[in-house]
Amino acid sequence: MSDVTKQTLSELVENIKSKKLSSSEVTKAFIERSQKSKELNTYITEDYENALGKAKKFDEKPNLNQKLPGIPMAVKDLFCTKDLRTTAGSKILNNFIPTYESTVTQNIWNEGAILIGKLNCDEFAMGSSNETSFFGNVQNPIDKNLVPGGSSGGSSSAVAAQLTPITIGTDTGGSIRQPASFTGTVGLKPTYGSCSRYGIVAFASSLDQAGPMAQNVKDCALLQEVISTYDEKDSTSIDFKRNEYSKELTKDIKGKKIGIPKEYRVDGMPKEIENLWKKGIEYAKDCGAEIIDISLPHTNYALPTYYIVAPAEASSNLARYDGVKYGFRAEGENLIDMYEKTRSEGFGAEVQRRIMIGTYVLSSGYYDAYYLKAQKVRKLIKNDFDDVFKKVDAILTPSTPSSAFKIGEKTNDPVSMYLNDIFTVPVNLAGLPGISIPAGHDAKGYPLGLQIIGKAFDEQNILNIAYAMEEKINFKNNITDWWIK
């Protein structure tokens, strides 16, 4: 079996269970391909030797009842991994080795998967292009000049380039769905409270959510089923009945009502995106769904609301990186001097920008005008969705307002960069699940994604719709392995 890395997760699981492949063979294959793909800069930290050791151990005594038996896997470097460096893409955590494991990654290892490395991401997940990482930008396997999206850019690039069969990212304002869209892969942002935040380096606590990224909907469903557990260690974790998403996956979505929100037809939206959306509607109809025009009137306010709430929380969440206890420290004349030097040298420009925005909107005299107002608008945005979900089962939108842009194209224009999240942030603000599936290409041949938004805790439903549409769309990613010499 030469093309091990070309196999989907389901195929790999099947082949390991039927002993056609050993974990060692699979792990070795992905490691070898990863080693040949250094140019993409997807990894921050590699853990190949340990991985091979674990694979060998697995093969000696395989537990084939596990959901991810001996499957190698790299994860976003925002998840704390015991005894393996966790940087959050930042210089300030460059030397940080956790003594603990995040709940989400622990769930994955409990089902037999094997960690092969930590994937690049925007610094503290703040970015839409993976260009804010202290460890350099990541290339999109679609084209060397393209960003892979962000903040889970190392994750999207690694899955698209088949350096890992599946991966996990985190999504605060679109950080799973946008990079999935930019790389022709599938990414699910689960309902807030579905996956534990314990052990994930925090960006914006009320928005952060871990989720699966994969090459297809079925793999995504299986990984979601593994990572989503109730966790007492996270006070915002919600105890609800979780499905066995992959087992209950069905393409039968006849009669499902799918809403098309008119406010997502934004000014200056490229014709290609408009066309993709129209095509998406046709695919959904082909699957037997009923299309309903809907309105989400406060959509326009989502982006400014997000860029108040997220930086506000981030400014406080990142206060702990002060050089006192762990991580990078720049020596100073006194405590304040040490703080200033540590944080000026340890954080990159985008993180510093967001800390300043966040500090500003929370400061006395501005709190009511910004933070409090933003919280009120956030409630209105959530109410919009609540109202609409009385009429429809899901909502269909484009994932992003454009295809992947060029590396360096938007680095000096933060607002234009922020606009990338326009279709994804409302979902985070409302705490809902959303999935991005590849649905076509633009004129340049770059992938474009469609987003399906569901009711809270209704991951199964949007996975089903995505599964049905995936078959109709029959997307093929044009990846030439140009980086492998």
Partner 1 sequence: MSKNKSEYLINRHDNQYEVVIGLEVHAQVTSHSKLFSTSATKFGAEPNTQVSLVDAAFPGMLPVINEYCVKQAIKTGIGLKAKINKRSVFDRKNYFYADLPQGYQISQFKDPIVGEGKVILDMPDGQKEVGIERLHLEQDAGKSIHDLDPKNTFVDLNRSGVALMEIVSKPDLRSPDEVNAYIKKLRSIMRYLGTCDGNMQEGSLRADVNVSVRKKGSKEFGTRCEIKNVNSIKFMQMAIEYEANRQVDLIEDGQTIDQETRLFDTKKNETRSMRSKEDSHDYRYFPDPDLLPLEVSDDFIENLKSEIPELPDEKKKRFIEKFKLSPYEANILVSDIETSNYFENVIKKSDVKLATNWIIGELFAALNEKNLEITESPISAGNLSKLINLIKDGTISGKIAKTVFEQMMEGDKDPKKIVEEKGLKQESDPKALEALIDKVIDDNRDKATEYKSGKVKLFGFFVGQVMKVSGGKANPQLVNEILKKKL
Active site residues: 76, 151, 175
The pattern of x and - marking residues 32 through 71 that bind partner 1 according to CB under 8 A reads ----------------------------------------
Q: Given the rule CB under 8 A, which of 108-116, 146-154, 204-212, 218-226 is the region that contacts partner 1?
A: 204-212
- Written as one letter, the residue type at 354 is R
User: Which region, judged by CB under 8 A, interacts with partner 1, from 91-99, 240-248, 294-302, 437-445?
Assistant: 91-99
Q: How far is the CB of 80 from partner 1 (least distance, A)?
A: 5
Q: Compute the distance between CA of residue 107 and CA of residue 64 in angstroms, rounded to an integer.
A: 16
Contacts with partner 1: how many residues (CB under 8 A)? 42
Task: Please give the sequence-ordered ranges of beta strands (E in DSSP) within 221-333, or none if there are none.
Answer: 257-261, 290-294
477 Cβ neighbours under 8 A, 6+ residues apart: 142, 160, 183, 184, 185, 438, 447
Minimum CB distance to partner 1, residue 386 (Å): 19
Q: Does 84 bind partner 1 (CB under 8 A)?
A: no
User: How near is the Cβ of 156 to partner 1 at its closest, in Å?
Assistant: 22
Helical spans, DSSP H, in 373-446: 373-388, 414-418, 425-430
Residue (77 or 459) nearer to partner 1, CB: 77
The neighbour count for residue 373, using CB atoms within 10 Å, is: 16
Q: CA 101 to CA 80: how far, in whole Å?
A: 5
Residue 452 near residue 462, CB atoms below 8 Å:
yes
Asked if residue 95 binds partner 1 (CB under 8 A), the reply is: no
Phi-psi sector, 465: left (phi>0), alpha (psi -120 to 50), beta: alpha
Q: Is 204 in the site for partner 1 (CB under 8 A)?
A: yes
Residue 176 amino acid letter: I
Least spacing, CB of residue 338 vs partner 1, in Å: 9
Site for partner 1 in 363-422 (CB under 8 A): 363-364, 367, 371
In angstroms, give the least distance from the CB of 263 to partner 1.
26
**x-or-dash string of contact with partner 1, 305-344, rule CB under 8 A:** -------xx-xx-xxx-x-xxx--------x---x-----
Bond from prior residue into 151 cis (ω within 30 degrees of 0): yes
Among the residue ranges 88-96, 159-167, 414-422, 454-462, the one whose residues contact partner 1 (CB under 8 A): 88-96
Work out which of 198, 347, 385, 475 binds partner 1, going by CB under 8 A.
Answer: 198
480 binds partner 1 (CB under 8 A): no
244-270 as b/e: b if 16+ CB within 10 A = ebbeebebebeebebbbbebbeeeebe
- Assess contact for 126 and 203: CB atoms under 8 A: yes
Q: Is there binding between residue 362 and partner 1 (CB under 8 A)? A: yes
Are the C-beta atoms of 168 and 76 separated by less than 8 Å?
yes
* Identity of the residue, 259 or 311, whose beta carbon is nearer to partner 1 in the bound complex: 311
Structure tokens at 157: 């690039």
Residue 326 main-chain phi, psi, to 5 deg = -160, 170
**Contact map string, positions 207 to 246, toward partner 1, x by CB under 8 A:** -------------------------xxxxx----------
Interface residues with partner 1 (CB under 8 A) are 80, 86, 88, 93, 96, 98-100, 102, 197-202, 204-206, 232-236, 312-313, 315-316, 318-320, 322, 324-326, 335, 339, 359, 362-364, 367, 371
